[in-house]
Chain A
């Protein structure tokens, strides 16, 4: 056998290391990974096509079913895109309620991710601990919206449910919205323990430090988004760069490891750190929202029959952008005058960008590190399996299909490897 001989090991579409149908082909030299090649497309459900045969209000419950964990994210992006296209403004109170819900979902998503990551490296006690404390925020979300997942709360022009009145005792208690405040205090108390487990424990440090490194340059070149690239020190956050909902009124800063006295290494450890610190940031943001929330209507278009007619007459394109727990995501909607159905609907979820960062992260690692590196971008295949990239900063629409992205990924790998391939 020649010295350069490699083995190809396919992992997926169905594999214990992955939670969702998705395949990565690994080229191995002994124990070391020399090439990783993601093959998405196993979970394509044609949701966008279904949406293009329904009217805009019917699509809202469909949009939130794109993904269970980022249900609020997809509802929010879709409704903002339709509002943008039809020129409707949500009320200010609706903006604050949307922000509170988005941040609650971020807490829930990051706590869930921490459990999954601990499970991938064999710490099942931590999985049970984190999923137990996640229940508290799930209960609050259920209390506010009526559902544990797929909240059905958004509508074009605002939200459909106010934060319940019993949580709203401004006159009797010094605390406003006592249920929300109690939940936030609960997480603040437990945060020290979470940090102890995930950042202080030496055996977890051994499995996460210097594993799956993504440098700042690679992160910028591969257009990664969210905590995945913030861990490498890239300052990229839609909430600050292009504020939506009520984020313009709130004080927040980029969560990057160097802010907390760590190095911006971009390994799994820094990604864990960024996600844990974002839980604290979300708690702070919800506190600010609760203080600043104005008293007014929650829906600027309460007459839904009139709204349907208005949307039928509307003509134009709209974009909804959001900083989802996993990174920036985007919905594009086109409405045509005289057509009740959406003319076009496109979803670009954050995992699509982050998948490209797999190639440099897997290089040189061992087979045993595959699950934790695969989990460290928090992949959500249900969101991702439809693909188009629209760059609204330059106004330029560039679309990549799987082949092109694959080619880019391989090219990138070749550049790094030089003439080894």
Chain B
């Protein structure tokens, strides 16, 4: 009996996915063995969907072009940017950043930029990956 549920299911087969598909079609019996196979290149996994343009990823700071005007620290709402008076550069704490992008807008030399990097979770918020020292 054709019901609307069947139509929805058939439609789902052909429509483009908005979210990531599962990495592999069936759950492997041994996860570690599957991970090893992927490393060797014997098992292919479904690629993640594209990152949208204008994505608000981890902030990239170009310390060479920074002139030390401190404007970014004046607009950072969560104090993720701290001015280092000795080096006359900013220190960036990624764990505190809210990705509002006010520093990107205010920087007169355009030293800040949003990158596509989003896998930035960590255990220690003061680890080297999550604190950018100039």
Q: Which A residues fall within an 8 A CB radius of B?
A: 54-55, 57-62, 135, 139, 142-143, 146-147, 150, 152, 155, 160-161, 164, 166, 304-305, 308
Which B residues are in CB contact (< 8 Å) with A146? Answer: 52, 54-56, 101
Q: A61 to B77, Cβ gap below 8 A?
A: yes
Q: A305 to B71, Cβ gap below 8 A?
A: yes
Which of B53, B55, B74, B100 lies in contact with A152, CB distance below 8 A? B100
- Asked, given contacts A60-B77, A305-B71, whether A164 binds B53 with beta carbons under 8 Å apart, the answer is yes
- Asked, given contacts A55-B74, A304-B106, whether A161 binds B99 with beta carbons under 8 Å apart, the answer is no
Q: A58 to B108, Cβ gap below 8 A?
A: no
| Top-5 shortest CB links A-B | A61-B77, A152-B100, A304-B106, A61-B100, A146-B56
A164 to B77 alpha-carbon distance, docked (Å): 25
Which A residues are in CB contact (< 8 Å) with B74? Answer: 55, 57-58, 308
Q: B102 to A61, Cβ gap below 8 A?
A: yes
Q: A57 to B102, Cβ gap below 8 A?
A: yes
Which A residues are in CB contact (< 8 Å) with B78? Answer: 61
Q: Of all chain B residues, which has the CB nearest A63?
A: B77
Q: Of all chain A residues, which has the CB nearest B106?
A: A304
Which B residues, 35 to 77, have Cβ-Cβ distances below 8 Å to chain A? Answer: 52-56, 71, 74-77
Which B residues are in CB contact (< 8 Å) with A308? Answer: 74-75
- Asked, given contacts A54-B77, A61-B77, whether A142 binds B99 with beta carbons under 8 Å apart, the answer is no
Which A residues are in CB contact (< 8 Å) with B102? Answer: 57, 60-61, 152, 155, 304
Q: B100 to A142, Cβ gap below 8 A?
A: no
Is B105's beta carbon under 8 Å from chain A?
yes
C-beta contact mask, B86-104 vs A, less than 8 Å → 1, else 0?
Answer: 0000000000001111100
Q: B99 to A304, Cβ gap below 8 A?
A: no
Closest Cβ of chain A to B117, distance in Å, is 14
A55 to B56 alpha-carbon distance, docked (Å): 24
Which of A57, A135, A142, A150 lies in contact with B75, CB distance below 8 A? A57
Q: Of all chain A residues, which has the CB nearest B55?
A: A146
Q: Of all chain A residues, which has the CB nearest B102?
A: A57
A275 to B78 alpha-carbon distance, docked (Å): 36
Q: B105 to A155, Cβ gap below 8 A?
A: yes
Which B residues are in CB contact (< 8 Å) with A54? Answer: 77
Which A residues are in CB contact (< 8 Å) with B77? Answer: 54, 58-62
Which B residues are in CB contact (< 8 Å) with A57? Answer: 74-75, 102
Is B10's beta carbon under 8 Å from chain A?
no
Which B residues, 93 to 134, have Cβ-Cβ distances below 8 Å to chain A? Answer: 98-102, 105-106, 108
Apart from A60-B102, A161-B54, A166-B53, what are 17 other A-B pairs with CB-CB below 8 Å?
A57-B102, A58-B74, A58-B77, A60-B77, A61-B78, A62-B77, A135-B18, A142-B52, A146-B54, A146-B55, A152-B98, A155-B102, A164-B53, A164-B54, A304-B102, A304-B105, A304-B106
Which B residues are in CB contact (< 8 Å) with A59? Answer: 77
Q: B53 to A147, Cβ gap below 8 A?
A: no
Which A residues are in CB contact (< 8 Å) with B105? Answer: 155, 160, 304
Which B residues are in CB contact (< 8 Å) with A166? Answer: 53
A57 to B100 alpha-carbon distance, docked (Å): 11
A54 to B75 alpha-carbon distance, docked (Å): 9
Which A residues are in CB contact (< 8 Å) with B55? Answer: 146
Most buried by A among B53, B102, B108: B102
